[in-house]
Every structure is written in C-alpha cells, then in structure tokens.
Chains A and B, each alone.
Chain A
Amino acid sequence: MRSEPVVEVQALVKRYGTKTAVDGLDLVARAGVTAVLGPNGAGKTTTVETCEGYRKPDSGTVRVLGLDPVRQSAALRPRIGVMLQSGGVYSGARADEMLRHVARLHAHPLDVDALIERLGLGGCGRTSYRRLSGGQQQRLALAMAVVGRPELVFLDEPTAGLDPQARRATWDLVRDLRADGVSVILTTHYMEEAEQLADDVVIVDAGRVVVQGSPEQLCRGGAENTLRFTGRPGLDVASLLKALPADSSAAELTPGSYRVVGKVDPQLLATVTSWCAQHGVMPDRISVERHTLEDVFLELTGKELRS
C-alpha cells in the first residue's frame, strides 16, 4: 500500500524577497493521508502551493504524481484536487452553481447532488458565496477539491474554524477518500486531526522538516512517558528502580506520590504492579500518561508562541 511516492520534494528552497519561507525541505508522501503540521509561518502553505504548481522553486525539485507541477501543469491539474485556505469562488455565485461548474471542467465528476447532501450544503439554497457562513464556504471549497475524482487531494487547513459536527463530516470524507484509494495531503494546526486521519505526519518548522513518521512512531520516539501511582509514604524507591529497565527513573515526588519515567509499555506496568504486590503496596490512582502528538510537536517546535 505504501508504495510509490505521490509527492517527492527534494531540497526545496523558496524565498519571498529577503524572507526564506522554505529552507531546504525534503519530503516524501506516499499513498494514504499525509498531515503536514507546523507553527504559523513554518512554510506549510508555501510547500503545498509549490506542489500545486502555484510557486516555482528557487532551488530543489518537486514531483507530484511523477510530474513537474510547473512545467507539466496541464497533465497534472486534472489529476489533483485543490482546496485553498480561503476564497476561490465568485462572490456572486451560489454554492451548487460553483460546484456544478467545477464538475463540468472534469471528464468524470462525482454526483454533485450527492456531494452537496453529503457535506450539508443543501441548506445554502440561493445564497451567494459572500453571504455563506465560514463553515459553509470551507465545505464548498472541500467539495470543489474532490468533485473531479482526483488521485491526489491537497487540503490547506480544511477544518480551520469549523464547528465540531462539520469537522467530523470533513474527517469522515477524508477517511472515505482514503478508503477509495485517493491520496490526501493536508496541512493542519490540530494535533487531533493529524492523529485521527494521518498515516504519516510531517512536522515542519522554520522551512524544514523536523520529523516525519506515523503518529504512533512519533509519539513513541518523543520524550519518555510517565507512570504515576500513590501508595503509603516512604516506599523503597531504590528497590523499585532495580526492578525497572535500565533507562527508567523513579521518585517519590511528595509523600505517598510516586512517579516512574521511562519507556512505559505493558511490561513496565506489570513490573511496577508486581513490585507493589511483593511489597504489600496497593498502588492507588495508578495512571499512565502517554505522550500525545501535541507533546511531540511542542517539544520539537518550541513551546513559545510565535508571531
């Protein structure tokens, strides 16, 4: 399944004036869903727009479905679907009118009525685009990206500002696309979105890829995880430590409150509980804190807010 790359970016550099937006970025996306995560200004949109053929690389190479997005644009465009971060629709057009128009530009479009129903756009009626809610505008842009039955879809922050139901509807559609063999590249600020949808997560910061892997790999490979429990005060922590794997640590933080830091897996949990059983300790409130993608993200890109 994870065979041919759908997107291959090598040493991409893109500058705007003196500002370097993308600074030697390497990225390989394969079939399935790839989420590109990064703080504002990390270069996500520039990278995606270079793949869509909007920007010419200052240096480096970009191949999408094996094609050069600028020089072979005519061959590539019918095969991809694009959802811009905003806009893209005539301000006086109605939702169904615009979607039908984009469908007409393709040879074998999806059933427009079914797609309207599916994305809850039926209620837009005769309202012109500029008077639609932000969520309706987003869903229309999503529908326009998929209506041509593309092989590969680029979604730039598809759920930014959506309410929870609309976000779920978008996620369900992305899952269905994936199940039907459509590859998806999406940028997002939402860790949960990446964890829910992505086969592969690419974290970008300051114009470079910081790390790439499946959500599970990234969470495993990040900082150590934590196990906490409470018991009677003054347990022999040194003895507990001896039972644990070498790279773990254990401490009594406050009297009766213990913390074990290390590779927290079922084996480690079993080791702790059996040590407790041997020492006649009832480990109350035992809990495992697994690292989320958010922890990994913040650790890699820095916790401070950036403008």
Chain B
Amino acid sequence: MTLTTGTGADSGAATGAYAPRPGAAPLSRMIAAQAALETKMLLRNGEQLLLTVVIPTLLLVLFSAVDIVDTGAGKAVDFLTPGVLALAVMSTAFTGQAIATGFERRYGVLKRLAASPLPRWALMTAKTASVLVTEVLQVVLLTVIAFALGWSPHGDPLAVLLLLVLGTAAFSGLGLLMAGTLKAEATLAAANLVFLLLLVGGGVIVPLDKFPSGAQDVLGLLPISALSDGLRDVLQHGAGMPWGDLGILAGWAVVALAAAGRFFRWE
C-alpha cells in the first residue's frame, strides 16, 4: 500500500481540484445507476442465487422427473411450472429483498444513501427495478427449462403478466416491511422460515387440496397461494382473468406497501 502524502501547497491548492461544484445527477441516471448496482450485488451473492435460481430450478427439474407428489391429472411439469414461477417471484421480491435490505440497513448503506442526492423514493424505485430485472432472468431460465421438460402452457400472457406484477408488489411490500422493522439477523431467519413454510403450504409443489378443507380456506388467502393458483388457472387450464386471485394479491400489495411506508425505519 502506498499513500500519496502530497502537501497541501502543491497538490490541491494550485489546481483547485476540490473546488466545490455541487449538484445532483439527473434522476434517471441516479435510478439507473442504483438499480444496476443493486442487481450486481444480488447476482454476486451466492446465498441469494441459491434462493432465487438454484432452488426453483431444482424443484422444477426434480419434481417433474420423479413422481414424489401427486400433482393431479395431466403432466407434472404443467402443474409445477406455474408454482415454481410463483416461488421465483417470492424468492426475489420477498426473501431476497428482505434479507438484502435488512443488511443494508444494518450496515448503514441506507443511511449513507439517504445523505446522497438520491431521493428515498428513487432508491425504492431502483430496488423495484432490480427485483424486476432479476425476475425476468428467472422467468426466462425457468421457462426454457420447463419447455425442455415438455411444458405446454395455455392462456392469456397479459393475465400472467398482471399476476406477476401484483405478486411482486405484494411480496416487495412484505419484504420491505420485514427488513425495515426487524433486526437484520431476525429478518434473515424469518424470511427464510417464511420462504420454507410458503413453499410447502402455498400450493407451489403441493396442491392445496391435499390439505384439510378448513386449512385450505386460510391457505388460499396467502399471497403465494393466490399467485400460484392464479398462474396455474391461466397457464395449466387456460382460464380467463383470475379476478379472485388478482384481488387477493392487490389487497396484500396495498396493505403491505402502506405498512412498509408507514413503519420502515432507515437505520
């Protein structure tokens, strides 16, 4: 390590290199830079990749190939793909975002950025953009694998897109609510636990009708169930707009985002 210990007289003063010239970059540039950095951090993080890429991919391949769970009539991959897409959305928008944001809060990243020219809403916009970019990568990867496994999707792409967007909004709200109120370690533990519970109880790989009917009614109101059920109705059964599931997701999104906005603490 070499340190340049030039004296004040010759290095800075003569040229005025540090002369103030303050100013914020254009908003679009700030948001793009922030979204790019957030995405880079996510893709560089091994645990995050395990959660967002490896687990959904493994579940899709494993359960399509091996008949472990009774997935009802039709090909297993047609049942599994919508559920795994829902899981991918949850892993990125909820689990991954909650853990990453929790530690950013813990290590003062959010605090430091709050003193930069980047407005808070722009930071949140960038986070959302980063989540969406990651989801596009996930969907492309999982779709390619599903086609290779013989997946034959039906339905209206617009309905699928709407479900994915509302699901992302609901899960982001819940993830940010958790990250902004709990300690980073608690968020890490809770986000992983919730991921596991919803993976099992949210109709991702285990059909909800395997559960007792009383439990089904409750589980059906979870955002993961609404998302996987809605995607399955459209992609597997070619149903029209799944208004019921969209309504549940919209409800979660409004409540969770409002609560996150109200209770999120930046440090």
The interface of chain A, by Cβ under 8 A from chain B, is 52-54, 74, 77-80, 82, 84, 86-93, 97, 101-102, 104-108, 110-111, 114, 117-120, 123, 144, 146, 148-151, 165-166, 168-169, 172-173, 175-182
Contact = CB atoms under 8 A, between A and B. Distances in A.
A146 B34 CA distance: 19
The listed residue with most B CB atoms (<10 A of its CB), out of A78, A88, A90, is: A90
B117 A177 contact: no
Contacts of B2: 120, 123
A91 B13 CA distance: 35
A54 B24 contact: no
B29 A52 contact: no
Nearest to B103: A91
Contact of A165 (B3, B16, B44, B118): B3
B24 A105 contact: yes
B152 interface: no
Contacts of B115: 52-54, 77, 80, 82
Nearest to A82: B115
Contacts of B112: 82, 84, 87-89, 144
Contacts of A176: 8, 11-13, 17-18
Given A108-B22, A176-B18, 7 more contacts: A82-B116, A101-B34, A105-B30, A108-B21, A118-B6, A149-B19, A169-B5
A179 B8 contact: yes
Counting chain A CB atoms within 10 Å of each CB, the highest count among B2, B5, B114, B267 belongs to B5
A172 B13 CA distance: 11
Nearest to A178: B8
B114 A54 contact: yes
Interface residues of B, number: 44
B5 A78 contact: no
A107 B1 contact: no
A78 B116 CA distance: 6
Interface of B: 1-8, 11-13, 16-25, 29-30, 33-34, 37, 40-41, 44-45, 103-104, 107-109, 111-112, 114-119, 267
B30 A104 contact: yes
Q: Which 7 A-B pairs have the closest CB atoms?
A: A176-B12, A87-B108, A107-B23, A88-B112, A175-B8, A179-B13, A180-B18
A87 B107 contact: yes
B8 A172 contact: yes
Contacts of A88: 107-109, 111-112
B109 A105 contact: no
Contacts of B107: 87-91
Nearest to B16: A180
Given A88-B107, A172-B7, A149 B22 contact: yes
Contacts of B12: 173, 175-177, 179-180
B121 to A, nearest CB: 11
Given A77-B116, A78-B23, A120-B2, A86 B108 contact: yes
A3 to B, nearest CB: 15
A78 B22 contact: yes
27 contacts: A54-B114, A54-B115, A74-B119, A87-B109, A88-B108, A88-B112, A90-B37, A90-B41, A105-B33, A107-B24, A111-B17, A118-B6, A119-B3, A120-B4, A144-B112, A148-B117, A149-B18, A151-B22, A165-B5, A172-B5, A176-B8, A176-B11, A177-B18, A179-B13, A180-B16, A180-B18, A181-B20
A118 B16 CA distance: 15
B22 A79 contact: yes
A123 B109 contact: no
Nearest to B11: A176
Contacts of B33: 101, 104-105
A140 B111 CA distance: 16
B3 A150 contact: no
Contacts of B13: 176, 179-180
Nearest to A165: B3
A104 to B, nearest CB: 4
B17 A180 contact: yes
A80 B22 CA distance: 8
A84 B111 CA distance: 9
Contact of B23 (A106, A119, A144): A106
Nearest to B30: A105
B11 A172 contact: yes
A63 to B, nearest CB: 17
Contact of B1 (A120, A151, A175, A181): A120
